[in-house]
Chain A
Amino acid sequence: MTGSTAIRVENLSKTFDTAAVLHDFTLDVRAGELLALLGPSGSGKTTLLRIIAGLDFPDAGRIVFGAEDATKLPVQQRAVGFVFQHYALFKHMSVADNIAYGLNARKRSERPAKAEITRRVGDLLDLIKLSGFADRYPSQLSGGQRQRIALARALAVEPRVLLLDEPFGALDAQVRKDLRRWLREIHDRTGQTTIFVTHDQDEALELSDRVAVLDKGRLEQVGTPDEVQEAPVSATVLKFLGDTIEVEAIAQAGEVRVDGQLTPVVAPAGLVGPVKLYARPWQLQFAEADRAHLHGTVRSSYRTQGRQRIEVDRPGGKTVVVEASDTARLAAGLPVGLRIVGGHVFPN
């Protein structure tokens, strides 16, 4: 379903006032894919999205749509569908007028006939499951409904690419989950090239075909959700994708040792000497003291969604969180040993 390059972002740089937001940024977006731009706030992801849309302009670099250089193409001619975080619906227009807006804004010669517009609006209302809402006003709709209207409005102009800025940011948890699944469905049905910005790892990993992880205006890694999770290219990516435990380790000849004990973690070729080992909470297991890599005492434990999370105080004041299947609750103050069963190492 995904294939040739639909949009190419080439050596893009952007500075606001004095702060650089994007540095020499390059990224290919494939036709038909659902791509997530994931990064902490201030990573430049929204600026990138706005530059692709033509709402902001880069200081250097190019935006190529298919074979066409779109860098200087005005936003009106880019044919992008942009869904704003706060929807930006037109309050004084009915739902139908909102959706039809892009079509009505066309020059008379390019504008579809009235009946055709009405039909398209009807189809889109069906697609977003809001048939019968055509004559409502935005103020009469819930947040989730407004978000869907905003999407339909963007789709109505048959955009080359759909751009969504934190599409679920303003919604509460349950609506968010439903809309995520629904967006995926819509994407699978329309095959529309889609880029969405999020700071929520779960959202990016669950929803997208590929994830581009941004940090401080640079592209850290781009790949499928599995790729970025299994083979993160940097500690930044790894840390951003979930909770991690950081442990001092020594790498030598591909082996990684913690506290003199060999771990199952493999060091990449060439990485030798003191390194940092990063493990997920579930990559630690309780173990007998002589097999353990780490030692400490239980500080507290709590249960969440069938798993148990145990905070363990290590000597030197560091606390690590271990995730274990639901076992008996461990008493605070109990000395425990922890064994590392997986993880990644990166240079110090």
Chain B
Amino acid sequence: MSKAIPHGDIGRPASVVTEGSRVRWLLIGTAIAFLALFLVLPLVTVFVQAFAKGWEAYLAAFTEQDAHAAIRLTLIVAAIAVPFNVVFGIMASWAIAKFEFAGKNLLVTLIDLPFSVSPVVSGLIYVLVFGAQGLIGPWLIEHDIQIIFAVPGIVLATIFVTFPFVARQLIPLMQEQGTAEEEAALTLGASGWHAFRTVTLPNIRWGLLYSVLLCNARAMGEFGAVSVVSGHIRGLTNTLPLHVEILYNEYNFVASFAVASLLAGLALVTLAVKSGLEWRYSADIAAGARGH
């Protein structure tokens, strides 16, 4: 009745809580193959296509005025949207994590709301408020203020889609850390602001950096919402992703992929720094890392 079971490698006993090594390698192989096909291959394609006609063609894509304008606009939008959401995220997580009050769960759900709204709908709602036919559209036209099909609209739509990023990362983190340290600081005579700067902020800095990174990636890469509010005016209201679309639709593939490679590079840097943060400071960011 005794069937011999494999003892595993020398010094590595066969564990009873894992699958046989053949099954294990089959599953690992399947997982890697799936990821390679669905995730890695598209990424590689971006760079392959971008360099399909060599360096010169690649670089030519960035000499255009429109490309410069798109890069500039993308940076401006991110430079407004990200700090806005950092301030909002810190404020919201302070209120939510450090205090007990009625309706807190509802507030958290509402902050999360933009995540479950289609990007296109996110753009649409701003058109409905600020557009020519929108709620305050006529008033805006009267005062010669342009929001839709202009930079303010793009900024607003970007803030909307990245709205939950920082808050949702910081809330669980601050909740986990509780209020004891801040209370200790206050009993030692620190002001609230001082306690925040010297006690709270150091505790959340890695989580904050982590969320800023993801927020920035999304802000620079947002397509659907921005596409709806931008009006695609070349040189004026085109961000990098919109520029990619225009070039692609003009069959200017090399230029399109060249600009896309810039964004893909940003994504890779984001992933690398994000993973680095996770490996080194996993405990400091873990509370907020469930889902995005």
List residues of chain A with CB under 8 Å of any chain B CB: 15, 54-57, 59, 68-70, 72-75, 77
Partner of A68, one of B2, B8, B11: B2
A72, B5: Cβ atoms under 8 Å? yes
Q: Which residue of B lies closest to A58 (CB)?
A: B13
**Interface residues of A, dominant DSSP:** loop
Q: What is the CB-to-nearest-CB distance from B184 to chain A, in angstroms, rounded to a whole number?
A: 31
Q: Which residue of A lies closest to B8 (CB)?
A: A57
The docked-state distance in angstroms from the alpha carbon of A15 to that of B10 is 11
B4-18 interface code vs A (CB 8 A; 1 in, 0 out): 110110010110100
A57, B13: Cβ atoms under 8 Å? yes
13 contacts between A and B (CB under 8 A): A15-B11, A55-B16, A56-B13, A57-B13, A59-B11, A68-B1, A68-B2, A69-B2, A70-B2, A72-B4, A72-B5, A75-B16, A77-B1
List residues of chain B with CB under 8 Å of any chain A CB: 1-5, 7-8, 11, 13-14, 16
B3, A57: Cβ atoms under 8 Å? no
**Supplied contacts A15-B11, A57-B14, A70-B2, 9 more A-B pairs, CB within 8 Å:** A56-B13, A57-B13, A69-B2, A72-B4, A72-B5, A73-B2, A73-B3, A74-B5, A77-B1
Q: Please give, as numbers and ranges, the residues of chain A lying within 8 Å of B4 by CB-CB distance.
A: 72
Q: Please give, as numbers and ranges, the residues of chain A lying within 8 Å of B5 by CB-CB distance.
A: 72, 74
Q: Please give, as numbers and ranges, the residues of chain A lying within 8 Å of B13 by CB-CB distance.
A: 56-57
The docked-state distance in angstroms from the alpha carbon of A223 to that of B217 is 69
Q: What is the CB-to-nearest-CB distance from A160 to chain B, in angstroms, rounded to a whole number?
A: 13
Q: Please give, as numbers and ranges, the residues of chain A lying within 8 Å of B3 by CB-CB distance.
A: 73-74, 77
The docked-state distance in angstroms from the alpha carbon of A75 to that of B3 is 11
Q: Please give, as numbers and ranges, the residues of chain B lying within 8 Å of A75 by CB-CB distance.
A: 16
Q: Please give, as numbers and ranges, the residues of chain A lying within 8 Å of B2 by CB-CB distance.
A: 68-70, 72-73, 77
Q: What is the CB-to-nearest-CB distance from B203 to chain A, in angstroms, rounded to a whole number?
A: 31
The docked-state distance in angstroms from the alpha carbon of A323 to that of B188 is 48
A57, B1: Cβ atoms under 8 Å? no
Q: Please give, as numbers and ranges, the residues of chain A lying within 8 Å of B8 by CB-CB distance.
A: 57
Q: Please give, as numbers and ranges, the residues of chain B lying within 8 Å of A68 by CB-CB distance.
A: 1-2
Q: Which residue of A lies closest to B7 (CB)?
A: A57
Q: Which residue of A lies closest to B1 (CB)?
A: A77
Q: Please give, as numbers and ranges, the residues of chain B lying within 8 Å of A72 by CB-CB distance.
A: 2, 4-5, 7
Q: Please give, as numbers and ranges, the residues of chain A lying within 8 Å of B16 by CB-CB distance.
A: 54-55, 74-75
Q: What is the CB-to-nearest-CB distance from B1 to chain A, in angstroms, rounded to a whole number?
A: 7
Q: Please give, as numbers and ranges, the residues of chain A lying within 8 Å of B7 by CB-CB distance.
A: 57, 72
The docked-state distance in angstroms from the alpha carbon of A56 to that of B2 is 17
The docked-state distance in angstroms from the alpha carbon of A74 to that of B2 is 8
Q: Please give, as numbers and ranges, the residues of chain B lying within 8 Å of A15 by CB-CB distance.
A: 11
Q: Which residue of A lies closest to B16 (CB)?
A: A75
Q: What is the CB-to-nearest-CB distance from B249 to chain A, in angstroms, rounded to a whole number?
A: 52
The docked-state distance in angstroms from the alpha carbon of A73 to that of B4 is 7
Q: Which residue of B lies closest to A53 (CB)?
A: B16
The docked-state distance in angstroms from the alpha carbon of A302 to that of B1 is 61
Q: Which residue of A lies closest to B10 (CB)?
A: A59
Q: What is the CB-to-nearest-CB distance from A52 to chain B, in angstroms, rounded to a whole number?
A: 13
Q: What is the CB-to-nearest-CB distance from A282 to chain B, in angstroms, rounded to a whole number?
A: 46
The docked-state distance in angstroms from the alpha carbon of A68 to that of B1 is 10
The docked-state distance in angstroms from the alpha carbon of A69 to that of B16 is 19
Q: Which residue of A lies closest to B5 (CB)?
A: A74
Q: Please give, as numbers and ranges, the residues of chain B lying within 8 Å of A54 by CB-CB distance.
A: 16
Q: Please give, as numbers and ranges, the residues of chain B lying within 8 Å of A59 by CB-CB distance.
A: 11
Report the 7 A-B pairs with minimum CB-CB distance, sorted nearest first. A57-B13, A74-B5, A75-B16, A73-B2, A72-B4, A55-B16, A72-B5
Q: Please give, as numbers and ranges, the residues of chain B lying within 8 Å of A69 by CB-CB distance.
A: 2
Q: What is the CB-to-nearest-CB distance from B18 to chain A, in angstroms, rounded to a whole number?
A: 12
Q: Please give, as numbers and ranges, the residues of chain B lying within 8 Å of A55 by CB-CB distance.
A: 16
Q: Please give, as numbers and ranges, the residues of chain B lying within 8 Å of A73 by CB-CB distance.
A: 2-3
